Structure 1
Amino acid sequence: MGFGKAVKSLFWQSEGGEAPEASDAPVEGEDEEFTADELAAFIGEGTPHTVPADEIDPVEVGTIEISTTDVGAVAIDFQAQYDAAGIPDTDEVEQLENFLERLDPQLPQASKIAAAQAFLGAIGKDKQAVLDDAARKIKRVHGVLQSKQEETGQTLTSEQASIDELQAKIDAHRERIETFKGELEGVKKACLVEESRLQAARVFFGEVNPPAGG
């Protein structure tokens, strides 16, 4: 279960702040990660703890390794990216994520937050440590996306240029085909005229019998 579900579970509550009814809570087995629209709605604009999209830890273009899962989804080794960025391997976010996954999903939000704060205190961390760890990693995630966007843009430009070059060659070959077809028709007509002239001479001197009734 990813942090998407843990975050949803942490903040999913009824209007009064109590635990959600079973029918309102996320259903096990459904798509429990955030979609792009859900993430945008969740973080909103101007949220104090939101890391802006323009805060980026740059990633060298062409260095992102991408794999594919059994169901065809793209997978990225983000931990390798965090290591490459020199982010301390303290994993405050991941530790909190693992803790939240073990909480009763029916707990009220206030109880979840209190439990999370107690857990962080027990491991010598606090809320700020989680915020800082998440911020560093979010900037790297932004860098991964920016890098892939730049790589894709460069590749599309190059591939389109190759397509245009190939199309020009195809057009030239088609024009050459039409030229040869036109020349063939011209040769056919010229040969027909010449053969008719020569055949007429043979007919004239009786070497070839003219058609009956001619």
Structure 2
Amino acid sequence: MTLSYPLAPEPDDFARERGRKLFAGDVAFLKGVVAMDGLPPPDRIEVCFAGRSNVGKSSLINALTGRRSLARASNTPGRTQEINYFTTPGGPYLVDLPGYGFAEAPVAVVRKWQALLKDYLSGRQTLRRAFVLIDTRHGVKSVDEEILTLLDKSAVTFQVVMTKADKVSLKDREKALAQVRGALAKHPAAYPEIVLTSSEKGDGIETLRALIASLE
């Protein structure tokens, strides 16, 4: 019996090298966007990273790019209120979306950036894949279901990247994977492979680099 939503396989040498080259170049911050009319020209494909506050999004982007402070992490959940664009040399834009869920910000501010998030996901034609980050310690929560449903409605292919895999035991990791697989079965836009990562240990980073480099 084939396992639904298996872990993404290790890349072969060619794919690993292509991913390494993409992220070995000068990856740079381009701009922070607070409204749709501020988005850069759709002159290349892009991938975005979405996840609830404190899921480890900034740490993952920093691990991918090999730069400790390219994406700035905040100790305050929900602090990032912009869509942050990064350029890769000859490759796609990397797009860091505002954290969703709990936020220490005024209600009106939260609503504004949630609306921006929805507009972006449903209206950006050059978006090739959304990577939705799920904390391995917690699995898919109700607030994650909202974003997954939005991606279904927007017909945006999304792939789950499980973060902080090193923070749980092997037994608990398997429980989390089973819970995530069950949740993904309800979402037609879900890409049929999961990437298991640890930004601290480097696990899964080569796999994710190779996946991004393969998109066209």
Scaled by the length of structure 1, the TM-score of the pair is 0.23
Higher helix share: 1
Larger radius of gyration: 1
